[in-house]
Protein backbone atom coordinates (compact mmCIF):
# COMPACT_ATOMS: atom_id res chain seq x y z
CA UNK A 1 0.00 0.00 0.00
CA UNK A 2 1.55 3.33 -1.01
CA UNK A 3 2.17 5.72 1.84
CA UNK A 4 3.90 9.06 2.18
CA UNK A 5 6.16 7.39 4.75
CA UNK A 6 7.81 5.64 1.79
CA UNK A 7 10.37 8.12 0.41
CA UNK A 8 10.06 7.15 -3.31
CA UNK A 9 6.24 7.21 -3.13
CA UNK A 10 6.33 10.58 -1.37
CA UNK A 11 8.79 12.00 -3.90
CA UNK A 12 6.63 10.84 -6.82
CA UNK A 13 3.51 12.37 -5.25
CA UNK A 14 5.31 15.70 -4.75
CA UNK A 15 6.59 15.56 -8.33
CA UNK A 16 3.00 15.12 -9.53
CA UNK A 17 1.78 18.00 -7.32
CA UNK A 18 4.41 20.25 -8.85
CA UNK A 19 3.06 19.49 -12.34
CA UNK A 20 -0.19 21.31 -11.59
CA UNK A 21 -0.40 24.54 -13.58
CA UNK A 22 -3.89 25.74 -12.72
CA UNK A 23 -5.19 25.10 -16.24
CA UNK A 24 -6.27 21.50 -15.63
CA UNK A 25 -9.97 20.61 -15.86
CA UNK A 26 -11.53 18.00 -13.57
CA UNK A 27 -12.36 14.59 -14.99
CA UNK A 28 -15.07 14.37 -12.29
CA UNK A 29 -16.37 16.63 -9.57
CA UNK A 30 -16.92 20.39 -9.42
CA UNK A 31 -13.75 21.80 -7.85
CA UNK A 32 -11.27 23.86 -9.78
CA UNK A 33 -7.55 23.05 -9.48
CA UNK A 34 -7.09 25.90 -6.99
CA UNK A 35 -10.03 24.69 -4.89
CA UNK A 36 -8.72 21.12 -4.94
CA UNK A 37 -5.25 22.15 -3.78
CA UNK A 38 -6.80 24.32 -1.07
CA UNK A 39 -8.87 21.30 -0.02
CA UNK A 40 -5.63 19.29 0.25
CA UNK A 41 -4.09 22.04 2.40
CA UNK A 42 -7.04 21.84 4.75
CA UNK A 43 -6.93 18.02 4.82
CA UNK A 44 -3.19 18.13 5.58
CA UNK A 45 -3.90 19.98 8.82
CA UNK A 46 -6.36 17.38 10.09
CA UNK A 47 -3.89 15.09 11.91
CA UNK A 48 -2.76 18.11 13.94
CA UNK A 49 -5.94 20.07 14.65
CA UNK A 50 -9.46 18.78 15.15
CA UNK A 51 -11.45 21.62 13.61
CA UNK A 52 -14.27 19.49 12.15
CA UNK A 53 -16.71 17.62 14.36
CA UNK A 54 -16.17 13.87 14.72
CA UNK A 55 -19.06 12.36 12.77
CA UNK A 56 -17.61 8.86 12.76
CA UNK A 57 -19.71 5.88 13.72
CA UNK A 58 -18.91 2.34 14.75
CA UNK A 59 -19.60 1.30 11.13
CA UNK A 60 -17.38 3.96 9.53
CA UNK A 61 -14.53 3.33 12.01
CA UNK A 62 -14.69 -0.47 11.95
CA UNK A 63 -15.67 -1.35 8.39
CA UNK A 64 -15.33 1.56 5.98
CA UNK A 65 -11.99 2.85 7.31
CA UNK A 66 -10.04 -0.38 6.65
CA UNK A 67 -11.72 -0.82 3.26
CA UNK A 68 -10.77 2.69 2.14
CA UNK A 69 -7.29 2.59 3.66
CA UNK A 70 -6.24 -0.87 2.48
CA UNK A 71 -8.61 -2.37 -0.08
CA UNK A 72 -10.72 -0.07 -2.22
CA UNK A 73 -9.72 2.94 -4.27
CA UNK A 74 -10.90 6.30 -3.02
CA UNK A 75 -14.43 6.65 -4.41
CA UNK A 76 -15.28 9.38 -6.91
CA UNK A 77 -18.19 11.77 -6.54
CA UNK A 78 -18.48 11.38 -2.76
CA UNK A 79 -19.43 14.68 -1.17
CA UNK A 80 -17.05 15.93 1.43
CA UNK A 81 -18.21 17.59 4.61
CA UNK A 82 -19.39 21.21 4.21
CA UNK A 83 -16.36 22.36 6.23
CA UNK A 84 -14.03 20.75 3.65
CA UNK A 85 -16.03 21.75 0.58
CA UNK A 86 -14.16 24.59 -1.10
CA UNK A 87 -17.34 25.75 -2.82
CA UNK A 88 -19.19 26.12 0.48
CA UNK A 89 -17.54 26.69 3.85
CA UNK A 90 -14.06 25.31 3.25
CA UNK A 91 -10.77 27.15 3.25
CA UNK A 92 -10.43 29.74 0.50
CA UNK A 93 -7.65 29.13 -2.03
CA UNK A 94 -4.52 31.24 -2.02
CA UNK A 95 -2.10 31.50 -4.92
CA UNK A 96 -1.72 28.02 -6.48
CA UNK A 97 2.03 27.89 -5.88
CA UNK A 98 1.60 28.98 -2.27
CA UNK A 99 -1.03 26.30 -1.67
CA UNK A 100 1.06 23.63 -3.43
CA UNK A 101 3.90 24.52 -1.08
CA UNK A 102 1.56 24.17 1.90
CA UNK A 103 0.43 20.73 0.70
CA UNK A 104 4.05 19.65 0.30
CA UNK A 105 4.80 20.96 3.79
CA UNK A 106 1.94 18.89 5.21
CA UNK A 107 3.08 15.80 3.29
CA UNK A 108 6.53 16.17 4.84
CA UNK A 109 5.11 16.87 8.28
CA UNK A 110 2.77 13.83 8.22
CA UNK A 111 5.42 11.54 6.74
CA UNK A 112 7.86 12.42 9.52
CA UNK A 113 5.46 11.82 12.41
CA UNK A 114 6.71 9.33 15.00
CA UNK A 115 4.55 6.20 14.98
CA UNK A 116 3.41 6.93 18.54
CA UNK A 117 2.35 10.53 17.77
CA UNK A 118 -1.06 11.35 19.22
CA UNK A 119 -2.83 12.33 16.00
CA UNK A 120 -6.24 13.97 15.94
CA UNK A 121 -9.28 12.08 14.72
CA UNK A 122 -10.65 12.02 11.18
CA UNK A 123 -14.26 13.27 11.01
CA UNK A 124 -15.48 10.09 9.25
CA UNK A 125 -12.91 7.42 10.16
CA UNK A 126 -12.37 8.42 13.79
CA UNK A 127 -9.00 7.96 15.48
CA UNK A 128 -6.12 7.34 13.07
CA UNK A 129 -2.52 6.67 14.00
CA UNK A 130 0.46 8.24 12.20
CA UNK A 131 0.82 5.31 9.78
CA UNK A 132 -2.88 5.41 8.89
CA UNK A 133 -2.75 9.17 8.32
CA UNK A 134 0.23 8.62 5.99
CA UNK A 135 -1.68 6.03 3.96
CA UNK A 136 -4.80 8.20 3.84
CA UNK A 137 -2.79 11.29 2.85
CA UNK A 138 -1.22 9.39 -0.06
CA UNK A 139 -4.55 7.99 -1.24
CA UNK A 140 -6.35 11.33 -0.88
CA UNK A 141 -3.74 13.37 -2.74
CA UNK A 142 -3.37 10.69 -5.43
CA UNK A 143 -7.16 10.62 -5.84
CA UNK A 144 -7.34 14.36 -6.44
CA UNK A 145 -4.32 14.42 -8.75
CA UNK A 146 -6.03 11.72 -10.82
CA UNK A 147 -9.17 13.86 -10.77
CA UNK A 148 -7.18 16.45 -12.73
CA UNK A 149 -5.31 13.99 -14.96
CA UNK A 150 -1.97 14.20 -13.15
pLDDT average, residue stretch 95-113: 96
| More confident of the two residues 10 and 80 | 10
Question: CA 62 from chain center: how many Å?
Answer: 20
Q: Is the pLDDT of residue 110 over 80?
A: yes
Contacts 24+ apart (CB under 8 A), 6-13: 9/138, 10/107, 10/108, 10/111, 10/138, 13/107, 13/138, 13/141, 13/142, 13/145
- Say if CB 128 and CB 119 are below 8 A apart: yes
How much is the pLDDT for 99? 96
> What's this model's pTM, rounded to 2 decimal places?
0.92
Q: How confident is the model at residue 13 (pLDDT cuts 50, 70, 90)?
A: very high
Residue 131, pLDDT score: 96
Q: pLDDT per residue over 47-76, tens digit each? A: 998 778 889 999 999 999 999 999 999 988
Please tell me the predicted confidence (pLDDT) of residue 88: 64
Q: Mean pLDDT over all residues of the chain?
A: 91
Using 50, 70 and 90 to split pLDDT, how confident is the model at 26?
Answer: very high
Amino acid sequence: MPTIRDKPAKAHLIERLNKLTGNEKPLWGKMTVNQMVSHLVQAGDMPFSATIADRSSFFSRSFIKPLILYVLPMPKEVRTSPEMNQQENGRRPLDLDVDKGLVIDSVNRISDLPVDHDCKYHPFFGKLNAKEWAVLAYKHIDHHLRQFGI
